[in-house]
Structure 1
């Protein structure tokens, strides 16, 4: 394996930036085109963009990214679309975690490089589903892999919304093998499960991690199609539900479901743990948390 994979790293990081730009533009368009419903008279939301940085233990540069957050929009109560490219040396705890996942040689050479996009959207309208998406590439001198996926998190479930979300993902994955979508769907069902509540946090989606078939281009193409599936899977659902009238009971159900979402992200989510353990910007790592939530 090439020691640095310089071209592959640059290609992956550029793709995550392109996907970020497409999503930000699409979400701002959803804000602009809402013409009726309970929040139509509110100002259209816009993303606030800030740079994030990661500092190495020796004080040197260790990468960073862009944090794009919209708060208080017509459609999105809070949505973050983050990209980052970070690098350096893994600390002891992270090295042990990598070793536990089967990555050899971390004690001898703990360098790493990681790039990806991470998105979480919390909606104004309880009928419009919250959503999560991320894709990423991780490299060490000993191994590389891709990971990510997307999953739908409605507080008020609609069977046709769930069917559209899953059906769109399946269409994008089928060209990579008929067996792939069922496998990644099952993985998502297992990963986005909350053991202490004995339930899933949403209606599922697709998820993969440690993807390395030995063919970088093939695995990257799959990762791209996971990203490409997101907007056509999600945007039509928002367009359908964003203007629906809601009741106080609907809003209460949304806030309680957000509490469930927060529990998962703080207790179980692998990306949250990795981001905090490696010293990345805490606000960027925790942007997935909802603006308001409640527990019963």
Structure 2
């Protein structure tokens, strides 16, 4: 695009891509030691392109594995002009200059995992950088979505997220934990979709290097936060009632992502590949 912050944008996009590579490698390694005699799951990688403007990414989806029933790890780098709806939404959030100049650039990684074993928690993570001619910011976070909650799992996940935040600002974890609790709440159900984690957006302290370092810390905390939980529960015995409970909980997850999730709305409004945008949806769900 030939405009300011080219170097920073290249750094961010390259790091998000590297994180995507590390996570997919770790998930396939988990599949290799997963329970049962079924073939180990492997990611199918599909390049994606935006229907409008420029850029695209990689959609990486694994289905019907030993450990993962469905997991997507997507990376993207896109640019172009915001739709009027997206432009209006960002202007309402106070993004400087966006009402007059709708150009944008964005890159990030987005991950959602739905597990075979109902005792193993579903999980979501994303980190991203967004640029407009008048502003730049980082956003992201990670949250745990068990259908059968284990207090030790919740404590471990939150402790790992806190450890990622505290070296940068002792107020980050309590602030971003509260943000996650509020953001991932499902108003029409009167409940959260999971046990939370952290969520932040519009992060710009005027120190790009510090904000990028914090975003890297959040991304790098994901595997230590989640892999021990998947490892501990992937071979745990479960009943038909446990599986039924999992499918009902997935219905909550689908409702949230289709009705409230800002990233889903943005991806569809800006013409990104619909399959990539909606990869977060579970492979099976149930409503009662």
Structure 2-normalised TM-score?
0.98
SS of 2:248 mapped into structure 1: helix
Matches within 5 A, 1:130-169: 130-169=122-161
Matches within 5 A, 1:6-25: 6-25=6-25
CA distance in 2, matches of 1:16, 1:109: 26
CA distance in 2, matches of 1:209, 1:120: 18
Unaligned runs of 5+ in 2: none
Regions of 4+ moved over 3 Å: none
Unaligned runs of 5+ in 1: none
Q: 1:91 Cα shift?
A: 1.5
Matches within 5 A, 1:1-296: 3-34=3-34, 36=35, 40-56=36-52, 62-296=54-288
SS of 1:102 mapped into structure 2: coil
CA distance in 1, matches of 2:94, 2:18: 31
Structure 1-normalised TM-score?
0.95
SS of 1:55 mapped into structure 2: coil
SS of 1:175 mapped into structure 2: coil
CA distance in 2, matches of 1:134, 1:100: 23
Q: 1:98 Cα shift?
A: 1.1
CA distance in 1, matches of 2:208, 2:96: 19
SS of 1:49 mapped into structure 2: strand
Greater CA drift, 105-114 or 89-98: 105-114
1:8-52 CA-to-partner distances (Å, cap 9, x unmatched) read 000000000110011000000110012x4xxx1211000000100
Q: 1:172 Cα shift?
A: 1.6
Number of aligned pairs? 287
CA distance in 1, matches of 2:133, 2:3: 6
Cα RMSD, aligned residues only: 1.0
CA distance in 2, matches of 1:10, 1:216: 13
SS of 1:155 mapped into structure 2: coil
1:67-117 CA-to-partner distances (Å, cap 9, x unmatched) read 000000000000000000010011111110110010132243210000000
SS of 2:167 mapped into structure 1: helix
Q: 1:179 Cα shift?
A: 1.4
Q: 1:215 Cα shift?
A: 0.6
Q: 1:3 Cα shift?
A: 4.3
CA distance in 1, matches of 2:166, 2:259: 33
CA distance in 2, matches of 1:177, 1:290: 35
Query: CA contact under 8 A between 1:55 and 1:63: conserved in structure 2?
Result: no
CA distance in 2, matches of 1:182, 1:104: 27
